[in-house]
Structure 1
Amino acid sequence: MTFAPWSAFRTAEPAFAETVQHRFERYRHHVLATLRKDGSPRLTGLEVTFRFGELWLGMMPNSRKALDLRRDPRFALHTNPGADDSMDGGDVRVAGRAVEVTDAEEVARFVADVEPPEPFHLFRVELGEVVRTSVEGDELVVRTWRPGPGLRTIRRR
């Protein structure tokens, strides 16, 4: 599987990236799927941050999700459906790998801008897939972006 940083996705498909980012920024909490030691899935709540042209995941020190990602960086992240269950803005999810950031300067830059509670684990997202599912008129529209093949749109009635 090929991976790309958020910045590459934003360069390749700026309008789609803006739609996806807006959907994540509309609500504070989202659902992160990681893999446990035995390979079974773990779902947990998570806040995401877009800074410096990238998508970031911050976690409490030694949280199960952080330990999962340190062991196996694969993840899936699903946007909050919203309080009214309207799915306004569509259903958005991303998947890929989370790269832990340990470089002191990079962490300091993040801390200066975001002011997160410390200590924490910081991960930068590398995308393998971005998917948005929405209803447009009488069609179900699924847009998928992957590094390499790019954007694909499927419409169903």
Structure 2
Amino acid sequence: MTFERKAGWPRLLNEHVTQAKAEFRRRGFAWGRFDCATFACDWVLKMTGDDPLADYRGKYDSRESAIRALWGEGDKTYLDALSRVFGVPVHPAHAKRGDIAWIEDDRAVGVFVTEGAHQRAAFLGENGVVIMPMRYIDAGFVIG
């Protein structure tokens, strides 16, 4: 899938993170409806108009069923599944604001939210939206 960023995407990114924080306060975390994958893929949908999660929405409701739903034939890891959708992962230093972030230990996908020396990434988890410093990010996926 080739992704192209819409004009005005930086404002949309700020709104996306703010809305996710408010949504978490209202509903909490929910596998398959409001989790790290939906947070990141909803962002890609807003930014590009393409939904990388379209084939998987509503097909999982737990960490285990997410793995079964999202991993395709030949995927050995969650990173393989992400690579199938987003392309070759890059070192986090090569990602930019709006790109997709990956933390291996948590098997969490998020969104890079700032640029330059203060690069961070936002992740949605069971404790809400958390902004993580670069030292915890294992890979990135360039979007557009």
TM over 0.5: no
More helix per residue = 2
Larger radius of gyration: 1
Give the structure-2-normalised TM-score: 0.27
Report which structure shows greater RCO (CA 8 Å, sep ≥6): 2
TM-score, scaled to structure 1:
0.26
